[in-house]
Amino acid sequence: MTPRLLLAALAPLAALASPLSFRVGPSGVDVSLGSTVTPSYSVVNCTGYTVDSVQETDSGIQAQLKLAGEACNAFGVTIPDLTLSVTYETSSRLHVHIYDTAEQQYQLPQSVLSRPSTSSTTASQSDFIFHYTNGSTPFAFWVEKRSTGSIVFDTRPANIPVYTEPLFAYETNASVTNTTAMPAHPLVFSNQYLQLSSALPENANVYGLGEYISGNFRRDPNSTVQPFFTLDIGDPVDSNLYGYHPIYVETRYDRAGNADSHGVFLLQTSGMDILLRPGVIQYRAIGGTFDFYFFSGDETPASGGAVTNSPLSVIEQYVQFVGLPQMPPLWGFGYHQCRWGYNNVSDTQFVIDSMRAANIPLETQWNDIDWMDAYRDFIPAPNRFAPSEYEAMIQGLHDNHQHYIPIIDGAVGVQIPNGTDVYDPWTSGTEQGIFIHNEDGSQYIGQVWPGYTSFPDWYNNQSQAWWTDAFRNFSQIISFDGIWEDMNEPSSFCVGSCGTGQNWSTLGAPDTSPTIVTGWPEGYDFTTYGTSGNMTVNGTSTYVPDATTNFKRSVDLTSATRSLAKRSDIVYQNVSQRFLETPPYAIHNAKGPLDVQTVAMNATTAFGAFYDVKNIWGHMSEVRTHNALLSLAPNNRPFLVARSTYAGSGKYTHHWLGDNYATWRYMAYSIQGILQFQIFGIPMVGADTCGFNQNTDEELCNRWMMMSAFTPFFRNHNTRGALPQEPFRWDSVADASRRAAAARYSILPYFYTYMAQASITGTPAMRAVFWEFPSPDQMLNDRQFMVGPSLLVTPVLEPNVTSVKGTFPGDGPWRDLWTHAPLNVTPNVNTSISAPLSEINVHIRPGSVILQYAEPAYTIYETQQSQYDIVVALDKNGTAAGTAYIDDGESQWPTPSKTISFTAGQGKLTITPGTGAYTIPNTVRQVSVLGVPNRPQALARGGSSNSTAFTYEPSIQRLNATLTDGDLNSGFTLAWE
């Protein structure tokens, strides 16, 4: 009997006992347990495993692990026979996989995340050394870094501290199943609970393990509880969010102050907790296997020489492993405007016109779910977004070289069986068997914005053609340029298949009333000064230092939601039986039970139980949407922005940071969000500028618009019912936005270069300061960030101030992006610098060369017609270097391109064109060399017979060379004496 037929035969049994779920492995369904099993809810008596047999080769180890004693059945049925597979895949990557020998536990197929083929690396060539215990001792392993001798991962219980007390007061209740106490550290491997611990240094510098919002970009080494379970939730602190990325990068310093980094990725899809307590990281998964990949970060230069190591190289190695990110089109770097609450074409057109009237660059206009008819994907509301009027608005944008993006939600509304309702995406999907089903074979019906909804089974390959057809039909209605994909965790507003057997018309009318919005940014006293959000009312400041914050999370993370009580009715009849809705171990899911706010765990897909694959549903939807967009415009880069992501999603989508809040602290949180997604391989990322939930005010929006101009994805978006926050609403915000957009569009060639590098090598485009300047003093700095290696951004992140503190590492001098004036501060010391309203501190790193557009314009297209300027910021040795990647900005990646190299030293700038088929149409207008100590006597230009005029400004030591036809295709030199 084939696995599919066997599952069909077992379906009636599953319907009779909903906790039962059968997993088919190579050996079929295992029903040989011998007797019933009740979970012990404790790992204290778990004995671990011993090594039974070993086969070693030059490239790895294969071993059998046998249960060392009696089964402890801590939070499930102990699996007695395991396999250990160790492979030295490359010199910098080690693969350690511990899995059940029968292979009945879920493992992610290559079709979802394609793992690169391994090289012929031998153990002696690897940057890692794998050690393990043998004999009668319980199995443990540790991974050593060959270059440093440090142990980067160590599962030996003797080296790991135990904690008998939990982190939280509510856990003292003996009935809690997910206590953060760590009374013992055996390897635990059962059908619904896997546990593994590793020793960490004291105050470990660990980054990643997300998606998350926390007190700092660095994870708290003493009390982090990070759940992994994709969830539709309004950006709470210290919780699971939309994405699933169990990768961390750790940086250690030796006594001499030298930094060394490595990365650890657990390939998992199950719900999971990862805990950090002093000296330990612990993994607790409710399914799957322990499939670890270690990245050394060590790199040998192509030209030979000493091995180098940095967090950047660790991230490169990880991103190259999961898949290099999609390169956005150049227009995607423009300013985007949206809100939930543009109720019709007129509302949307008003924003487009108002932005133009205020001369605030608008590259792309968006619409939230308001555009849909009854919130159904692909169907415009006929009375509010009549197709002809809707398309005319979009064509007006296109005529002005602007763009348009609508939202698409993950769930598909059902067709109401009243004889008149017609909705082809649902009927065709039903006919083709595209949607997720219940265990009894009926279609799973949840509830989202359209009312009752079905959920595409993205794991079914037939879903691709169906989804592509839906987009092709949609493209005949409106001419969209990209897609915004939301609610793809997936989200459902009811528990279970609430629409099965119901009258589907009862939820057919969605709620269109405005959201009630409360709360303001810290310091804004709305009780006295009203709801304008203005900084001043009748000449009086609306800021009150002791005003009530009114900050609220969107979810109450109390013990009631973060823990579940032990259940006496969990009794296993066989090892393949699983309790899917309420597994014995309760991960610290922000919504508590796993079925809340999402599809039920016992729903069925082409990949098996939803329990195993829920966390890749969003990723799979992005694969399908990316492919659909590519099929519609095969010569152009698809532009997709989505919410729920997984390892490797960057190949298909970009990301925004979800439903944040209009508060100063959330503006600061967005920095850590942008940096963590550089680790995850999704560099095109940004926050809802000025905040999504609650009301913003003039000052916050002013500062936030300027900061977001230096992040990859630049969009203003907020919720319905809140104060309008488009940048033209306040004069000061309009001024700040014009200045910020002009600066952003000016540096686009530089910004684009490092986003391209992210897509070519995996190197992060946005960088934490310590990634460029490793120092123990910088490990907690997430209030500054870098764009590429050369621009340091120091935003104002608090109200009612005209200065900001920042650290400026290196030898200096850093120079202001706008004026080029040197910054006179003591290097590496936290220093207060001026920051008036409508200004943001962005500084050029000494030793940098930046290619810019000479005349930033209203749109990216118009800006592209500009000539280039080159800014050379000499360091104290009189040298500088940089690169510029240039292509047409839209052709499908990879596309013909040219990479230019800039080197300066000994009074000479050399511009060298690299190889590449692309011909650069723009010429260089001006070269500014900063840090020239004296006025040159002459300026000579090579590669051209034209004379070169120049000016010199001694106050800032700036040499300005005026060119008429600086050709980057052939290159040239400038020499000053």
Cis peptide before 490 (omega within 30 of 0): yes
Confirm whether 373 is a catalytic residue.
no
591 Cα distance to chain centroid: 21
Upper half-sphere CA count for residue 496 (Cβ side, 13 Å): 9
Burial 645-670 (b: 16+ CB within 10 A, else e): bbbbbbbbbbbbbbbbbbbbbbbbbb
Q: Find, among 745, 755, 618, the residue nearest to 683 by Cα.
A: 755
Cβ atoms 202, 589 nearer than 8 A: no
387-399 helix and 345-357 helix, angle to the nearest 10 degrees: 20
Per the CB < 8 A criterion, the answer to whether 660 and 687 are in contact is yes
Is 481 marked active-site? no
Q: What share of residues in the chain are helix, strand, coil (percent, to 5)?
A: 20, 30, 50
In 3-state terms, what secondary structure has residue 279? coil
Question: Which two three-digit tokens encode residue 354?
Answer: 């108002």
Q: In the annotation, is 659 catalytic?
A: yes
Q: How far apart are CA 138 and CA 684, in angstroms?
A: 45
Catalytic residue among 316, 489, 688, 875: 489
**Residue 472: φ, ψ to 5°:** -65, -45
Q: Evaluate whether 112 touches 142 at the Cβ level (below 8 Å).
A: no
Q: Which residue has the tokens 């040795």?
A: 877
Name the catalytic one among 154, 377, 659, 839. Answer: 659
- Name 285's bridge partners: 194, 272
Residue count of the chain, please give it: 977
- Give CA angle at 269 (170, 43), nearest 5°: 45
172-199 burial code (b ≥16 CB/10 A, e <16): eeeebbbbbbbebbbbbbbbbbbbbbbb
Phi/psi of residue 928, nearest 5 degrees: -110, 120
Which of 127, 439, 486, 622 is flagged as catalytic?
486
Rounded CA separation 379/425 (Å): 10
Q: H helices within 592-663, ranges in order?
A: 610-613, 617-632
529 contacts 542 by C-beta, under 8 angstroms: yes
Buried b (16+ CB within 10 A) or exposed e, 505-514: eebbeeeeee
Which residues are tagged catalytic?
486, 489, 659
